[in-house]
A and B are shown apart, each in its own frame.
Chain A
Amino acid sequence: MTATRRAAKTERSESTPDPATRFASVVELAALLRKRKASAVELAESVLADLEREGPRYNALASLMRERALREARAADRALARGAARTPLVGIPYGAKDLLAAVGAPTTWGAPQYAEQTFDEDAAVVDRLRRAGAVLAAKLAMVELAGGGGYRYPKASLQGPGLNPWDTGRWSGGSSSGSGAAVGAGLVPFAIGSETSGSIGTPAAYCGVTGLRPTYGLVSRRGAMALSWTLDKIGPMARSAEDCAIVLEAIAGPDSGDATLSGKRFKRLDRRAATARVRAVRVGYSGEELVLATPEAKAALEKGIAEFRRILKPKVVKAALPEGLPYGPMVFTVHAAEGAAAFADLIESPHWEELRDTRQMIGLRDALDIRARDYLRALRLRTVLQERLRALFQDVDVLLSFGRNTTATPVGQRLDQPASGSGGAPASQPRPVGNVALIPAGNLAGLPAIFFPCGFGSDGLPVGLQLVGPPFSEPLLVALAEAYQRETDHHLRRPPAATATRRAATTP
Protein backbone atom coordinates (compact mmCIF):
# COMPACT_ATOMS: atom_id res chain seq x y z
CA MET A 1 0.00 0.00 0.00
CA THR A 2 2.71 2.45 0.94
CA ALA A 3 4.53 1.67 -2.29
CA THR A 4 1.36 2.34 -4.25
CA ARG A 5 0.81 5.71 -2.61
CA ARG A 6 4.44 6.61 -3.25
CA ALA A 7 4.08 5.65 -6.92
CA ALA A 8 0.94 7.74 -7.22
CA LYS A 9 2.68 10.74 -5.76
CA THR A 10 5.66 10.31 -8.10
CA GLU A 11 3.32 10.19 -11.07
CA ARG A 12 1.57 13.32 -9.85
CA SER A 13 4.75 15.29 -9.52
CA GLU A 14 5.87 14.27 -13.01
CA SER A 15 2.59 15.22 -14.63
CA THR A 16 1.72 18.28 -12.57
CA PRO A 17 4.52 20.78 -12.29
CA ASP A 18 3.07 23.55 -10.13
CA PRO A 19 1.34 23.36 -7.79
CA ALA A 20 1.29 19.59 -7.27
CA THR A 21 -2.33 19.53 -6.30
CA ARG A 22 -4.34 17.75 -8.94
CA PHE A 23 -5.82 14.50 -7.60
CA ALA A 24 -4.68 15.45 -4.12
CA SER A 25 -7.20 14.73 -1.38
CA VAL A 26 -8.84 17.32 0.83
CA VAL A 27 -6.60 16.17 3.67
CA GLU A 28 -3.45 16.56 1.57
CA LEU A 29 -4.50 19.97 0.29
CA ALA A 30 -5.38 21.18 3.79
CA ALA A 31 -1.87 20.20 4.94
CA LEU A 32 -0.34 22.01 1.97
CA LEU A 33 -2.25 25.19 2.80
CA ARG A 34 -1.47 25.07 6.50
CA LYS A 35 2.23 24.60 5.80
CA ARG A 36 1.99 27.60 3.42
CA LYS A 37 3.41 25.50 0.57
CA ALA A 38 0.61 26.96 -1.52
CA SER A 39 -1.89 29.70 -0.91
CA ALA A 40 -5.63 29.28 -1.24
CA VAL A 41 -5.56 31.78 -4.11
CA GLU A 42 -2.91 29.73 -5.96
CA LEU A 43 -4.92 26.61 -5.39
CA ALA A 44 -8.11 28.28 -6.62
CA GLU A 45 -6.31 29.62 -9.70
CA SER A 46 -5.03 26.15 -10.48
CA VAL A 47 -8.45 24.54 -10.10
CA LEU A 48 -10.15 27.30 -12.12
CA ALA A 49 -7.61 26.79 -14.92
CA ASP A 50 -8.16 23.03 -14.93
CA LEU A 51 -11.93 23.45 -14.92
CA GLU A 52 -11.88 26.01 -17.69
CA ARG A 53 -9.55 23.99 -19.88
CA GLU A 54 -10.84 20.48 -19.26
CA GLY A 55 -14.34 20.85 -17.86
CA PRO A 56 -15.84 21.16 -21.35
CA ARG A 57 -14.05 17.96 -22.40
CA TYR A 58 -16.41 16.08 -20.08
CA ASN A 59 -19.37 18.49 -20.38
CA ALA A 60 -18.89 18.80 -16.64
CA LEU A 61 -19.07 22.53 -16.29
CA ALA A 62 -22.24 24.59 -15.91
CA SER A 63 -20.58 27.83 -14.73
CA LEU A 64 -17.08 28.75 -13.74
CA MET A 65 -17.17 30.99 -10.65
CA ARG A 66 -13.84 32.76 -10.95
CA GLU A 67 -14.71 35.98 -9.16
CA ARG A 68 -16.41 34.33 -6.24
CA ALA A 69 -13.74 31.64 -5.95
CA LEU A 70 -10.92 34.15 -5.77
CA ARG A 71 -12.82 36.27 -3.24
CA GLU A 72 -13.43 33.21 -1.04
CA ALA A 73 -9.83 32.07 -1.52
CA ARG A 74 -8.52 35.44 -0.38
CA ALA A 75 -10.69 35.20 2.73
CA ALA A 76 -9.31 31.69 3.32
CA ASP A 77 -5.74 32.96 3.00
CA ARG A 78 -6.47 35.64 5.58
CA ALA A 79 -7.90 33.03 7.96
CA LEU A 80 -4.89 30.77 7.40
CA ALA A 81 -2.51 33.66 8.03
CA ARG A 82 -4.27 34.44 11.30
CA GLY A 83 -4.15 30.78 12.30
CA ALA A 84 -7.95 30.90 12.32
CA ALA A 85 -8.66 27.98 10.00
CA ARG A 86 -11.25 26.13 12.05
CA THR A 87 -11.98 23.30 9.58
CA PRO A 88 -9.93 21.27 7.10
CA LEU A 89 -12.01 22.83 4.31
CA VAL A 90 -10.51 26.31 4.63
CA GLY A 91 -9.21 27.21 1.18
CA ILE A 92 -10.33 23.95 -0.47
CA PRO A 93 -12.01 24.47 -3.87
CA TYR A 94 -15.07 22.49 -4.86
CA GLY A 95 -17.89 22.27 -7.38
CA ALA A 96 -21.63 22.18 -6.69
CA LYS A 97 -24.25 20.39 -8.73
CA ASP A 98 -26.18 23.01 -10.63
CA LEU A 99 -29.40 22.36 -8.74
CA LEU A 100 -27.99 24.29 -5.78
CA ALA A 101 -28.57 28.02 -5.71
CA ALA A 102 -25.38 30.06 -5.52
CA VAL A 103 -24.96 33.80 -5.77
CA GLY A 104 -22.72 34.78 -8.67
CA ALA A 105 -23.81 32.35 -11.38
CA PRO A 106 -26.99 31.03 -12.97
CA THR A 107 -28.63 27.96 -11.47
CA THR A 108 -29.85 26.10 -14.53
CA TRP A 109 -31.13 22.85 -13.07
CA GLY A 110 -29.61 21.39 -16.25
CA ALA A 111 -32.59 22.56 -18.29
CA PRO A 112 -32.85 25.12 -21.12
CA GLN A 113 -35.86 26.76 -19.48
CA TYR A 114 -33.73 27.78 -16.51
CA ALA A 115 -30.54 28.73 -18.37
CA GLU A 116 -30.74 32.31 -17.09
CA GLN A 117 -32.19 31.59 -13.63
CA THR A 118 -30.40 33.32 -10.76
CA PHE A 119 -30.92 33.44 -7.02
CA ASP A 120 -29.92 36.15 -4.57
CA GLU A 121 -29.22 33.69 -1.78
CA ASP A 122 -27.02 30.62 -1.52
CA ALA A 123 -28.45 27.16 -0.92
CA ALA A 124 -27.95 26.02 2.67
CA VAL A 125 -25.22 23.56 1.65
CA VAL A 126 -23.29 26.23 -0.27
CA ASP A 127 -23.68 28.61 2.65
CA ARG A 128 -22.45 26.02 5.13
CA LEU A 129 -19.43 25.23 2.98
CA ARG A 130 -18.64 28.94 2.67
CA ARG A 131 -18.78 29.26 6.44
CA ALA A 132 -16.49 26.24 6.72
CA GLY A 133 -13.99 28.09 4.51
CA ALA A 134 -14.41 26.09 1.29
CA VAL A 135 -14.08 27.86 -2.06
CA LEU A 136 -16.85 27.47 -4.63
CA ALA A 137 -15.06 27.21 -7.97
CA ALA A 138 -17.84 25.99 -10.26
CA LYS A 139 -21.40 24.93 -10.74
CA LEU A 140 -21.34 21.44 -12.23
CA ALA A 141 -23.52 20.01 -14.96
CA MET A 142 -26.45 17.72 -14.31
CA VAL A 143 -29.21 15.88 -16.13
CA GLU A 144 -32.09 18.27 -16.79
CA LEU A 145 -34.43 18.52 -13.82
CA ALA A 146 -32.42 15.67 -12.29
CA GLY A 147 -34.09 13.27 -14.67
CA GLY A 148 -37.47 13.08 -12.99
CA GLY A 149 -39.30 11.98 -16.11
CA GLY A 150 -37.10 8.98 -16.88
CA TYR A 151 -34.74 10.26 -19.55
CA ARG A 152 -33.72 8.05 -22.43
CA TYR A 153 -30.33 9.45 -23.44
CA PRO A 154 -27.29 10.82 -21.57
CA LYS A 155 -27.59 13.98 -23.68
CA ALA A 156 -30.60 15.00 -21.56
CA SER A 157 -28.80 18.04 -20.22
CA LEU A 158 -28.34 21.69 -21.08
CA GLN A 159 -24.57 21.10 -20.98
CA GLY A 160 -24.70 17.98 -23.17
CA PRO A 161 -24.06 14.38 -22.15
CA GLY A 162 -21.83 13.89 -19.12
CA LEU A 163 -18.67 12.27 -20.49
CA ASN A 164 -16.62 9.87 -18.44
CA PRO A 165 -13.02 10.80 -17.63
CA TRP A 166 -12.01 7.16 -18.00
CA ASP A 167 -13.34 7.05 -21.54
CA THR A 168 -15.09 9.99 -23.10
CA GLY A 169 -17.09 7.60 -25.25
CA ARG A 170 -18.87 6.53 -22.06
CA TRP A 171 -21.41 8.28 -19.88
CA SER A 172 -20.38 9.76 -16.53
CA GLY A 173 -23.67 8.69 -14.98
CA GLY A 174 -26.58 10.75 -13.78
CA SER A 175 -28.04 12.87 -12.62
CA SER A 176 -24.94 14.30 -10.83
CA SER A 177 -23.01 13.91 -14.12
CA GLY A 178 -20.70 16.88 -13.77
CA SER A 179 -19.97 16.19 -10.09
CA GLY A 180 -18.86 12.62 -10.88
CA ALA A 181 -16.83 13.61 -13.93
CA ALA A 182 -15.13 16.61 -12.30
CA VAL A 183 -14.00 14.63 -9.26
CA GLY A 184 -13.06 11.61 -11.40
CA ALA A 185 -10.97 13.79 -13.72
CA GLY A 186 -9.21 15.49 -10.83
CA LEU A 187 -10.66 18.90 -11.70
CA VAL A 188 -11.93 19.50 -8.15
CA PRO A 189 -11.03 17.74 -4.89
CA PHE A 190 -14.70 17.29 -4.05
CA ALA A 191 -18.14 18.09 -5.34
CA ILE A 192 -21.67 18.18 -4.08
CA GLY A 193 -24.19 15.89 -5.73
CA SER A 194 -27.73 14.91 -4.97
CA GLU A 195 -29.66 11.69 -5.08
CA THR A 196 -33.34 10.97 -5.51
CA SER A 197 -32.73 7.38 -6.56
CA GLY A 198 -29.22 6.63 -7.79
CA SER A 199 -27.94 10.06 -8.75
CA ILE A 200 -24.89 10.01 -6.46
CA GLY A 201 -24.33 6.25 -6.63
CA THR A 202 -24.34 5.93 -10.41
CA PRO A 203 -21.81 8.67 -11.24
CA ALA A 204 -19.65 7.60 -8.28
CA ALA A 205 -19.53 4.02 -9.60
CA TYR A 206 -19.01 5.03 -13.23
CA CYS A 207 -16.34 7.67 -12.57
CA GLY A 208 -14.41 5.73 -9.91
CA VAL A 209 -15.01 8.17 -7.05
CA THR A 210 -16.44 7.89 -3.55
CA GLY A 211 -19.96 9.18 -2.95
CA LEU A 212 -21.93 9.48 0.23
CA ARG A 213 -25.73 9.59 0.19
CA PRO A 214 -26.80 10.85 3.60
CA THR A 215 -29.85 9.80 5.54
CA TYR A 216 -32.96 11.69 4.46
CA GLY A 217 -33.21 14.68 6.76
CA LEU A 218 -29.52 14.99 7.68
CA VAL A 219 -28.55 17.67 5.12
CA SER A 220 -30.65 20.75 4.42
CA ARG A 221 -32.20 21.07 0.98
CA ARG A 222 -33.00 24.74 1.29
CA GLY A 223 -32.09 26.38 -2.00
CA ALA A 224 -31.90 23.07 -3.87
CA MET A 225 -34.20 22.22 -6.76
CA ALA A 226 -37.01 20.03 -5.50
CA LEU A 227 -37.64 16.98 -7.62
CA SER A 228 -39.09 14.63 -5.02
CA TRP A 229 -39.79 16.11 -1.61
CA THR A 230 -39.70 12.75 0.12
CA LEU A 231 -36.70 11.28 -1.70
CA ASP A 232 -34.17 14.06 -2.41
CA LYS A 233 -30.88 14.01 -0.52
CA ILE A 234 -27.72 16.09 -0.96
CA GLY A 235 -24.29 14.58 -0.39
CA PRO A 236 -20.57 14.76 -1.13
CA MET A 237 -18.57 13.11 -3.88
CA ALA A 238 -14.83 12.98 -3.37
CA ARG A 239 -11.68 10.91 -3.75
CA SER A 240 -12.07 9.02 -0.51
CA ALA A 241 -14.44 8.18 2.30
CA GLU A 242 -12.35 10.35 4.58
CA ASP A 243 -12.87 13.37 2.34
CA CYS A 244 -16.60 12.66 2.09
CA ALA A 245 -16.76 12.60 5.88
CA ILE A 246 -14.99 15.95 6.17
CA VAL A 247 -17.48 17.50 3.77
CA LEU A 248 -20.49 15.83 5.38
CA GLU A 249 -19.45 17.13 8.76
CA ALA A 250 -19.63 20.65 7.32
CA ILE A 251 -22.95 20.34 5.49
CA ALA A 252 -25.03 18.22 7.88
CA GLY A 253 -27.07 19.67 10.69
CA PRO A 254 -30.09 21.75 11.62
CA ASP A 255 -31.47 24.48 9.39
CA SER A 256 -34.76 26.26 9.92
CA GLY A 257 -35.26 26.45 6.16
CA ASP A 258 -35.91 22.73 5.72
CA ALA A 259 -38.77 21.31 7.75
CA THR A 260 -37.81 17.71 6.97
CA LEU A 261 -34.51 17.94 8.84
CA SER A 262 -33.93 15.66 11.79
CA GLY A 263 -31.78 18.18 13.61
CA LYS A 264 -28.99 15.63 13.87
CA ARG A 265 -25.38 16.31 12.99
CA PHE A 266 -22.67 14.05 11.62
CA LYS A 267 -19.44 13.36 13.41
CA ARG A 268 -16.80 10.86 12.39
CA LEU A 269 -15.90 8.12 14.82
CA ASP A 270 -12.51 8.60 16.40
CA ARG A 271 -9.87 6.08 15.35
CA ARG A 272 -10.37 3.80 18.35
CA ALA A 273 -14.17 3.73 18.07
CA ALA A 274 -13.94 3.21 14.33
CA THR A 275 -11.58 0.26 14.76
CA ALA A 276 -13.88 -1.31 17.34
CA ARG A 277 -16.99 -0.84 15.20
CA VAL A 278 -15.28 -2.22 12.11
CA ARG A 279 -14.04 -5.27 14.00
CA ALA A 280 -17.49 -6.04 15.32
CA VAL A 281 -19.48 -5.28 12.19
CA ARG A 282 -22.08 -7.68 10.87
CA VAL A 283 -22.38 -7.38 7.11
CA GLY A 284 -25.56 -8.49 5.39
CA TYR A 285 -24.79 -9.92 1.99
CA SER A 286 -26.69 -11.91 -0.56
CA GLY A 287 -24.51 -12.05 -3.65
CA GLU A 288 -27.37 -13.45 -5.70
CA GLU A 289 -27.66 -10.12 -7.52
CA LEU A 290 -24.24 -10.70 -9.09
CA VAL A 291 -25.92 -12.88 -11.70
CA LEU A 292 -27.29 -9.61 -13.07
CA ALA A 293 -23.86 -8.01 -13.45
CA THR A 294 -22.73 -7.43 -17.00
CA PRO A 295 -19.87 -9.61 -18.29
CA GLU A 296 -17.50 -6.61 -18.22
CA ALA A 297 -18.24 -5.83 -14.58
CA LYS A 298 -18.89 -9.19 -12.98
CA ALA A 299 -15.40 -10.52 -12.28
CA ALA A 300 -14.19 -7.17 -10.90
CA LEU A 301 -17.23 -6.89 -8.64
CA GLU A 302 -16.72 -10.42 -7.34
CA LYS A 303 -13.08 -9.66 -6.71
CA GLY A 304 -13.94 -6.40 -4.97
CA ILE A 305 -16.42 -8.09 -2.65
CA ALA A 306 -13.92 -10.85 -1.86
CA GLU A 307 -11.29 -8.22 -1.18
CA PHE A 308 -13.63 -6.28 1.11
CA ARG A 309 -14.32 -9.47 3.07
CA ARG A 310 -10.65 -10.40 3.21
CA ILE A 311 -9.54 -6.98 4.47
CA LEU A 312 -12.28 -6.26 6.97
CA LYS A 313 -12.98 -9.85 8.02
CA PRO A 314 -16.54 -8.99 9.01
CA LYS A 315 -19.11 -11.41 10.26
CA VAL A 316 -21.12 -12.00 7.09
CA VAL A 317 -24.79 -12.80 7.43
CA LYS A 318 -26.87 -13.93 4.50
CA ALA A 319 -29.35 -11.11 4.11
CA ALA A 320 -31.45 -9.72 1.33
CA LEU A 321 -34.08 -7.06 0.94
CA PRO A 322 -37.62 -7.99 1.96
CA GLU A 323 -39.55 -9.92 -0.66
CA GLY A 324 -43.01 -9.05 -1.90
CA LEU A 325 -42.42 -5.34 -2.30
CA PRO A 326 -42.50 -3.89 -5.83
CA TYR A 327 -39.46 -1.63 -5.45
CA GLY A 328 -39.43 -0.39 -9.04
CA PRO A 329 -43.09 0.66 -9.09
CA MET A 330 -42.80 2.16 -5.60
CA VAL A 331 -39.87 4.41 -6.39
CA PHE A 332 -41.20 5.22 -9.86
CA THR A 333 -44.56 6.30 -8.48
CA VAL A 334 -43.22 8.45 -5.66
CA HIS A 335 -40.45 9.98 -7.77
CA ALA A 336 -42.61 10.65 -10.83
CA ALA A 337 -45.71 11.88 -9.01
CA GLU A 338 -43.76 14.30 -6.84
CA GLY A 339 -41.59 15.44 -9.75
CA ALA A 340 -44.59 16.07 -11.97
CA ALA A 341 -46.33 17.95 -9.16
CA ALA A 342 -43.20 20.04 -8.53
CA PHE A 343 -42.95 20.97 -12.21
CA ALA A 344 -46.67 21.08 -13.03
CA ASP A 345 -46.63 24.78 -13.91
CA LEU A 346 -43.73 24.26 -16.29
CA ILE A 347 -45.26 21.09 -17.77
CA GLU A 348 -48.42 23.01 -18.62
CA SER A 349 -46.55 25.98 -20.08
CA PRO A 350 -45.43 26.50 -23.69
CA HIS A 351 -41.81 26.18 -22.54
CA TRP A 352 -42.24 22.55 -21.64
CA GLU A 353 -41.15 21.31 -25.04
CA GLU A 354 -37.75 22.95 -24.69
CA LEU A 355 -36.45 20.03 -22.63
CA ARG A 356 -33.67 18.15 -24.37
CA ASP A 357 -34.98 14.61 -23.86
CA THR A 358 -38.34 13.83 -25.40
CA ARG A 359 -38.91 10.77 -23.24
CA GLN A 360 -38.25 12.76 -20.10
CA MET A 361 -40.61 15.48 -21.31
CA ILE A 362 -43.39 13.05 -22.06
CA GLY A 363 -42.74 10.93 -18.98
CA LEU A 364 -43.06 13.88 -16.62
CA ARG A 365 -46.23 15.10 -18.32
CA ASP A 366 -47.74 11.63 -18.14
CA ALA A 367 -46.87 11.44 -14.45
CA LEU A 368 -49.40 14.20 -13.80
CA ASP A 369 -51.95 11.43 -14.34
CA ILE A 370 -50.63 9.19 -11.56
CA ARG A 371 -53.63 8.58 -9.37
CA ALA A 372 -53.69 9.64 -5.73
CA ARG A 373 -54.59 6.09 -4.69
CA ASP A 374 -51.43 4.77 -6.35
CA TYR A 375 -49.17 7.46 -4.92
CA LEU A 376 -50.57 6.85 -1.45
CA ARG A 377 -50.29 3.10 -1.88
CA ALA A 378 -46.62 3.55 -2.76
CA LEU A 379 -46.18 5.62 0.40
CA ARG A 380 -47.97 2.99 2.49
CA LEU A 381 -45.79 0.26 0.99
CA ARG A 382 -42.83 2.45 1.92
CA THR A 383 -43.99 2.28 5.54
CA VAL A 384 -43.98 -1.53 5.28
CA LEU A 385 -40.50 -1.41 3.77
CA GLN A 386 -39.22 0.79 6.60
CA GLU A 387 -40.62 -1.58 9.22
CA ARG A 388 -39.09 -4.62 7.53
CA LEU A 389 -35.74 -2.93 7.13
CA ARG A 390 -35.77 -1.93 10.79
CA ALA A 391 -36.18 -5.62 11.58
CA LEU A 392 -33.42 -6.59 9.14
CA PHE A 393 -31.04 -4.11 10.76
CA GLN A 394 -31.50 -5.88 14.07
CA ASP A 395 -29.51 -8.77 12.58
CA VAL A 396 -26.98 -6.88 10.47
CA ASP A 397 -25.28 -3.50 10.73
CA VAL A 398 -24.94 -2.84 7.02
CA LEU A 399 -25.88 -4.33 3.68
CA LEU A 400 -23.19 -4.83 1.04
CA SER A 401 -23.73 -4.98 -2.69
CA PHE A 402 -22.36 -3.57 -5.92
CA GLY A 403 -22.72 0.15 -6.66
CA ARG A 404 -23.92 -0.53 -10.19
CA ASN A 405 -24.05 -3.86 -11.98
CA THR A 406 -22.36 -2.48 -15.06
CA THR A 407 -19.44 -0.29 -16.02
CA ALA A 408 -20.21 3.08 -17.61
CA THR A 409 -22.41 2.66 -20.65
CA PRO A 410 -21.64 4.05 -24.13
CA VAL A 411 -22.69 7.65 -24.34
CA GLY A 412 -25.01 6.99 -27.28
CA GLN A 413 -26.75 4.04 -25.65
CA ARG A 414 -30.35 4.27 -24.58
CA LEU A 415 -30.72 4.26 -20.82
CA ASP A 416 -34.02 2.47 -20.76
CA GLN A 417 -32.49 -0.76 -21.98
CA PRO A 418 -31.72 -3.56 -19.52
CA ALA A 419 -28.55 -3.15 -17.42
CA SER A 420 -28.19 0.36 -18.72
CA GLY A 421 -27.37 1.99 -15.41
CA SER A 422 -29.90 4.74 -15.95
CA GLY A 423 -30.15 7.34 -13.28
CA GLY A 424 -33.89 7.38 -13.86
CA ALA A 425 -36.49 5.11 -12.36
CA PRO A 426 -35.46 1.46 -12.49
CA ALA A 427 -37.41 -1.05 -14.47
CA SER A 428 -40.22 -2.85 -12.72
CA GLN A 429 -38.87 -5.85 -10.86
CA PRO A 430 -41.55 -7.53 -8.76
CA ARG A 431 -39.23 -10.31 -7.64
CA PRO A 432 -35.87 -8.68 -7.04
CA VAL A 433 -32.81 -10.90 -7.07
CA GLY A 434 -30.81 -10.65 -3.86
CA ASN A 435 -30.06 -7.00 -3.18
CA VAL A 436 -30.27 -5.76 -6.75
CA ALA A 437 -32.94 -3.26 -5.67
CA LEU A 438 -30.74 -1.75 -2.97
CA ILE A 439 -30.68 1.70 -4.61
CA PRO A 440 -34.48 2.15 -4.85
CA ALA A 441 -35.04 0.42 -1.50
CA GLY A 442 -32.40 2.49 0.28
CA ASN A 443 -33.79 5.69 -1.18
CA LEU A 444 -37.40 4.85 -0.39
CA ALA A 445 -36.45 4.16 3.21
CA GLY A 446 -34.26 7.28 3.43
CA LEU A 447 -31.18 5.22 4.33
CA PRO A 448 -27.59 6.39 4.02
CA ALA A 449 -25.18 4.73 1.62
CA ILE A 450 -21.55 4.99 0.72
CA PHE A 451 -20.33 4.14 -2.78
CA PHE A 452 -16.63 3.47 -3.33
CA PRO A 453 -14.42 2.08 -6.10
CA CYS A 454 -13.36 -1.57 -5.90
CA GLY A 455 -11.57 -2.19 -9.17
CA PHE A 456 -11.88 -2.13 -12.92
CA GLY A 457 -14.00 -4.09 -15.35
CA SER A 458 -12.61 -6.00 -18.30
CA ASP A 459 -13.16 -2.85 -20.38
CA GLY A 460 -10.84 -0.86 -18.10
CA LEU A 461 -13.66 1.16 -16.53
CA PRO A 462 -14.24 1.52 -12.79
CA VAL A 463 -16.68 -0.53 -10.77
CA GLY A 464 -17.63 0.00 -7.16
CA LEU A 465 -19.42 -1.28 -4.10
CA GLN A 466 -22.08 0.19 -1.89
CA LEU A 467 -22.78 -0.14 1.79
CA VAL A 468 -26.17 0.77 3.17
CA GLY A 469 -26.99 1.12 6.85
CA PRO A 470 -29.90 2.13 9.05
CA PRO A 471 -30.78 5.82 9.42
CA PHE A 472 -27.89 7.98 10.66
CA SER A 473 -25.34 5.18 10.42
CA GLU A 474 -23.00 7.38 8.34
CA PRO A 475 -20.19 7.16 10.94
CA LEU A 476 -20.06 3.38 10.56
CA LEU A 477 -20.37 3.49 6.76
CA VAL A 478 -17.47 5.94 6.58
CA ALA A 479 -15.37 3.86 8.98
CA LEU A 480 -15.90 0.72 6.88
CA ALA A 481 -15.08 2.41 3.59
CA GLU A 482 -12.05 4.11 5.15
CA ALA A 483 -10.80 0.77 6.47
CA TYR A 484 -11.12 -0.69 2.98
CA GLN A 485 -9.45 2.32 1.34
CA ARG A 486 -6.54 2.25 3.78
CA GLU A 487 -5.59 -1.14 2.36
CA THR A 488 -6.44 -0.64 -1.32
CA ASP A 489 -5.63 1.89 -4.01
CA HIS A 490 -8.67 1.68 -6.30
CA HIS A 491 -9.79 5.13 -5.16
CA LEU A 492 -6.33 6.58 -5.91
CA ARG A 493 -6.24 5.49 -9.53
CA ARG A 494 -6.49 8.17 -12.14
CA PRO A 495 -8.00 8.17 -15.60
CA PRO A 496 -5.27 7.87 -18.23
CA ALA A 497 -6.96 10.53 -20.33
CA ALA A 498 -6.77 13.10 -17.54
CA THR A 499 -3.06 12.47 -17.00
CA ALA A 500 -2.37 12.54 -20.73
CA THR A 501 -4.31 15.77 -21.06
CA ARG A 502 -2.33 17.43 -18.29
CA ARG A 503 0.94 16.26 -19.85
CA ALA A 504 -0.10 17.58 -23.23
CA ALA A 505 -1.22 20.84 -21.73
CA THR A 506 2.05 21.35 -19.90
CA THR A 507 4.46 20.16 -22.58
CA PRO A 508 5.97 23.06 -24.53
Chain B
Amino acid sequence: MPTGTLRAVSREDAAATPTPPTDTRDIDDPARLADEAREQREKMAAELRGASLPIEVEPATIYRP
Protein backbone atom coordinates (compact mmCIF):
# COMPACT_ATOMS: atom_id res chain seq x y z
CA MET B 1 0.00 0.00 0.00
CA PRO B 2 1.38 3.45 -0.83
CA THR B 3 2.64 5.33 2.20
CA GLY B 4 0.35 8.26 1.47
CA THR B 5 -2.71 6.03 1.81
CA LEU B 6 -1.50 4.67 5.11
CA ARG B 7 -0.90 8.14 6.44
CA ALA B 8 -4.30 9.32 5.33
CA VAL B 9 -5.96 6.39 7.08
CA SER B 10 -4.01 7.05 10.23
CA ARG B 11 -5.05 10.71 10.22
CA GLU B 12 -8.71 9.73 9.87
CA ASP B 13 -8.33 7.24 12.70
CA ALA B 14 -6.78 9.91 14.85
CA ALA B 15 -9.67 12.26 14.18
CA ALA B 16 -12.17 9.60 15.18
CA THR B 17 -10.32 8.48 18.29
CA PRO B 18 -11.31 10.16 21.54
CA THR B 19 -8.55 11.93 23.48
CA PRO B 20 -6.87 9.44 25.84
CA PRO B 21 -7.25 10.18 29.54
CA THR B 22 -4.45 12.19 31.14
CA ASP B 23 -1.76 10.02 32.72
CA THR B 24 -2.15 10.47 36.46
CA ARG B 25 1.08 8.71 37.37
CA ASP B 26 3.97 10.76 38.77
CA ILE B 27 6.03 12.21 35.91
CA ASP B 28 9.11 10.33 37.09
CA ASP B 29 7.31 7.05 37.68
CA PRO B 30 9.47 4.39 35.96
CA ALA B 31 6.47 2.66 34.39
CA ARG B 32 5.27 5.95 32.96
CA LEU B 33 8.76 6.78 31.72
CA ALA B 34 8.96 3.37 30.04
CA ASP B 35 5.67 3.99 28.28
CA GLU B 36 6.81 7.44 27.20
CA ALA B 37 10.14 6.10 25.92
CA ARG B 38 8.37 3.46 23.85
CA GLU B 39 5.88 6.02 22.50
CA GLN B 40 8.71 8.39 21.61
CA ARG B 41 10.66 5.65 19.84
CA GLU B 42 7.59 4.62 17.86
CA LYS B 43 6.80 8.22 16.96
CA MET B 44 10.36 8.80 15.78
CA ALA B 45 10.27 5.60 13.73
CA ALA B 46 6.98 6.64 12.14
CA GLU B 47 8.47 9.99 11.13
CA LEU B 48 11.53 8.34 9.66
CA ARG B 49 9.38 5.94 7.70
CA GLY B 50 7.21 8.80 6.49
CA ALA B 51 10.14 10.73 5.03
CA SER B 52 10.71 10.49 1.31
CA LEU B 53 13.76 8.35 0.51
CA PRO B 54 14.77 7.12 -2.95
CA ILE B 55 15.50 3.39 -2.96
CA GLU B 56 19.00 3.84 -4.35
CA VAL B 57 20.24 5.85 -1.35
CA GLU B 58 22.76 3.90 0.69
CA PRO B 59 23.47 4.43 4.37
CA ALA B 60 26.45 6.49 5.42
CA THR B 61 28.69 4.06 7.25
CA ILE B 62 32.11 4.12 8.81
CA TYR B 63 33.18 0.84 7.20
CA ARG B 64 36.33 1.21 5.14
CA PRO B 65 38.01 -2.00 3.97
A residues touching B (Cβ–Cβ < 8 Å)?
152, 229-230, 259-260, 324-326, 328-330, 332-333, 336, 358-359, 362-363, 365-367, 369-371, 374, 376-384, 386, 414, 428, 430
Contacts and interface: CB of A to CB of B under 8 A. Distances in A.
* 7 residue pairs, one from A and one from B, having the closest CB atoms: A379-B59, A366-B37, A329-B44, A329-B47, A326-B47, A362-B33, A374-B45
A359 B27 CA distance: 10
Contacts of B58: 380, 383
B31 to A, nearest CB: 9
Given A328-B44, A358-B28, A377 B62 contact: no
Contact of B45 (A328, A371, A379, A414): A371
Contacts of B62: 229-230, 259-260
Given A366-B41, A376-B59, A377-B49, A259 B33 contact: no
A336 B61 CA distance: 16
Contacts of B37: 359, 362-363, 365-367
A428 B47 contact: yes
B64 A324 contact: no
Contact of A380 (B41, B44, B53): B53
A361 to B, nearest CB: 8
Interface residues of B, number: 27
A230 B60 contact: yes
21 contacts: A230-B60, A230-B62, A259-B62, A324-B52, A325-B51, A326-B51, A336-B41, A358-B30, A358-B33, A363-B33, A365-B37, A366-B38, A366-B41, A371-B45, A376-B59, A379-B61, A380-B53, A380-B57, A381-B57, A428-B43, A430-B50
Given A329-B47, A377-B49, A414-B27, 6 more contacts: A230-B61, A230-B62, A329-B43, A332-B40, A374-B45, A383-B58
Contacts of B1: none
A363 B44 CA distance: 13
B11 to A, nearest CB: 14
B48 interface: yes
Contacts of A260: 62
A333 B48 contact: yes
Interface of B: 27-28, 30, 33-34, 37-38, 40-41, 43-45, 47-54, 57-62, 64
A380 B59 CA distance: 4
A217 B57 CA distance: 22
A370 B28 contact: no
B55 to A, nearest CB: 10
B45 A333 contact: yes
B38 A381 contact: no
Contacts of A329: 43-45, 47-48
Interface SS of chain A: helix
B51 A381 contact: yes
Contacts of A229: 62
**Which of B33, B38, B43, B64 has the most C-beta atoms of chain A within 10 angstroms of its own C-beta?**
B33
A359 B33 contact: yes
B59 to A, nearest CB: 3
A384 B57 contact: yes
B8 to A, nearest CB: 16
B57 A333 contact: no
A414 B26 CA distance: 14
B60 A382 contact: yes
A158 to B, nearest CB: 19
Contacts of A374: 44-45, 48-49
Nearest to A331: B44
Nearest to B54: A384
A326 B48 contact: yes
A383 B44 contact: no
A330 B48 contact: yes
B37 to A, nearest CB: 4
A430 B40 CA distance: 14
B24 to A, nearest CB: 18
A315 B62 CA distance: 36
A259 B60 CA distance: 15
Contact of A152 (B28, B54, B57): B28
Contacts of A332: 40, 44
Contacts of B28: 152, 358-359
A437 to B, nearest CB: 13
